Amino acid sequence: MEKFNLAAFGRTAACVLLFSGAVGWAGAQPAPAPVGSAGEAAPARAANKLPESFSMHPVNANVDVSEAQRLDADSDLDNWLLNGRTYDNKRFSPLTQVNAANVDKLKPAALIQTGVQNSFEDTPIVVDGILYVETAFNHVMAYDAVTGLELWSYIPNLEFSNLCCGPQARGVVPGYGKLFVAQLDGYVVALDARTGKLLWKSDKAAILPQPTQFYSFTMGPQLYNGLVIVGNAGAEWPTRGFVQALNAETGKFVWRFDTTAAPDQPGGDSWSGDSWKYGGGSVWDTPAVDPKNGLILFATGNASPDLYGEFRKGDNAYTASIVAIHAKTGKLAWWYQEVRHDLWDYDASAPVVLFDTVDEKGHTVPAAAQAGKVGSLFIVNRLTGKLIRQSDPFVDIGPNFLKAPTETPAPYLPGNRGGATWSPPAFSPRTGLFYTMGINEVHFLSARPVQPYVLGSTPPRVFLGGSMALDLKNYSPNGTFSAINVATGKIAWQYKASLPMYGGALATASDLVFTGEMDGNFDAFDAKTGKLLWQYNLGMGVCTPPITYRVKGVQYVAVGAGGCHGAEEMMRDSGRPLFGDLLAIFAVAN
């Protein structure tokens, strides 16, 4: 896996290019301060530090977003207020203006160039005609959601952080006149939704475990009942994963749930020695919320170290699991472990989705589902965590699947990227189908003995018990986009792509489902049959979750085309650049 040091990257300008020719400029920023061998920042050159917020045009829209609006987001036809559109993470829109009869008339209404050329994994947010976008390196911009005119930008002076898997950022969340951002350098910040100005910044030194540089955030935060809820990335470092809640008004710490079980907790006997203290369990994506039952539900990442598990013997609860905690206290409700004693980097990284389904007795029950790296959809009872059903595989399964790696490299399918990776799926209550992206990649895995981590040891080092190498010589990577019947676990239909599928899915009440491909195609399918109805090539990998919204009665569909992190080796010889910076807004042409 690639390791990133934020101090190695400079600041890029943020601009927007429209069909009308209007251009906005947000300026450039200097690189963060260099770091010492122990991860301590050298003194910054105060004279070179530029402002983090730039305002170009006033925002006069109503962007306050109350708790009641978020709770009622499902019936809101105009906005996209939460990362998953609604607290259940369904990514289902009730809009029907774009439908099978006119989807072939979708044309770009505006093209935005963010100025940040890197993988674009953000889910855009729309509030009253204002489009909020977060790029890699936590640049946040506000645009007119119809014309693409840039209104303001926030370009943070990020501190040093040991990043596991790139500088990706997956979105912001609005509320109470603020935008909440979870940053790569371990800070959570609140911005003024009208100006982009910094309102508060969390106390990283007091809140995060030490050493703080091992902890970063890539997920889009959740906002519920006055709490900003975030989970850490980076289980390739010796970290103890967590989900924590901060006060939305002040940024003060409220509670934390640790994703490795201590000896006095349920599942605490599933860790040997002190391995639970640095056992991983990242939380990569936005949690779902069940307001009726007061639950927060999320998926957890791999146990650490990857590949070699001799000094973390046991199942390693609560890693590679679907977890439910109580929203008020952060206390454990239940967990369901998809992969016990994970040795393959089979972390559960895609968001948990909530819906009702039938159990084995034919009774309708509240459910939670997660598309795993192992290539199956896991559907559990939302109140108990009991497995209802596991779907048929939506990717290829190789002969070494779930066999422990040895010191001799061997091919594994699914590889360590999945199955399903971080990409948010969609669920349509109209079709009863769950739409998920899939990856067919062979990786050569090998294990090597490593010593237990000594807490507080320096210098910081990656904690990996072997190697994971993509095999391009003997196997051509490809992808799937699958519709899974949640009542049976069977694959209803499947689209096969020439390259792995990243990004995300969007379903609508007009029985369309949208997704993007690594070759630059943005696709619309018949949600019931899987027939490809429309395709538009944006010239760069479409690995951004699409959204839809309405402004003044007109439905728009927006998606990013910034290339795909993880595609470096596959795209090296394609003759095209790996990364871009495009966000496209589509509407039906008259």
Lowest mean pLDDT among 97-101, 195-199, 203-207, 568-572: 568-572
The DSSP 8-state label assigned to residue 221 in this structure reads P
% of the chain residues with pLDDT over 90 = 81
Segment 441-489, tens digit of pLDDT: 999 999 999 888 887 776 456 678 999 999 998 999 999 999 999 999 9
Segment 223-237, tens digit of pLDDT: 999 999 999 998 888
Maximum Cα interatomic distance, the chain, rounded to a whole number of Å: 69
Segment 150-172, tens digit of pLDDT: 999 999 999 988 887 789 999 99
Give the amino acid at 202.
S
Question: Does the pLDDT value for residue 1 go beyond 60?
Answer: no
The DSSP 8-state label assigned to residue 430 in this structure reads T
Q: How many CA atoms lie within 13 A of 67 on its CB side?
A: 8
* Residues known to be catalytic: 345
Residue indicated by tokens 């729309």 = 126
Contact 200, 446 (CB under 8 A): no
Question: What mean pLDDT, rounded, does the chain reach?
Answer: 90
Q: What is the mean pLDDT of residues 103-114?
A: 97
Segment 546-580, tens digit of pLDDT: 999 999 999 999 999 999 988 877 877 777 778 99
Q: How confident is the model at residue 8 (pLDDT cuts 50, 70, 90)?
A: very low
pLDDT at res. 213: 86
From CA 359, how far away is CA 310, in angstroms rounded?
37
pLDDT at res. 458: 61
The DSSP 8-state label assigned to residue 427 in this structure reads E
pLDDT at res. 32: 31
Q: What is the mean pLDDT of residues 96-117?
A: 97
| Residue-range domains of the chain with CATH | 4-588 (2.140.10.10)
Lowest mean pLDDT among 17-31, 33-47, 89-103: 17-31
pLDDT at res. 452: 86
Show the tokens assigned to 393. Answer: 């595989």
Residue of 7 and 146 predicted with greater confidence: 146
Classified as helix, coil or strand, 205 is: helix
Give the amino acid at 173.
V
Element (H, E) at 559: strand 554-561
Partners of 521 in the β-ladder = 537
Residue 88 CB partners (closer than 8 Å, separation 6+)? 288, 289, 290, 353, 354, 355
CA 204 to chain centre: 22
Q: How confident is the model at residue 48 (pLDDT cuts 50, 70, 90)?
A: low
Q: Cα separations (Å) of 212 from 205, 237, 443, 484?
A: 7, 11, 31, 40
Contact 309, 470 (CB under 8 A): no
Lowest mean pLDDT among 8-22, 57-71, 516-530: 8-22
Q: What is the mean pLDDT of residues 133-141?
A: 97
- Could you give phi then psi for residue 214, rounded to 5 degrees? -75, -15
Lowest mean pLDDT among 16-20, 136-140, 298-302, 398-402: 16-20
- Could you give phi then psi for residue 140, rounded to 5 degrees? -120, 130
pLDDT at res. 16: 32
Question: Does the pLDDT value for residue 25 go beyond 60?
Answer: no
Q: What is the mean pLDDT of residues 80-99?
A: 98
From CA 215, how far away is CA 202, in angstroms rounded?
14
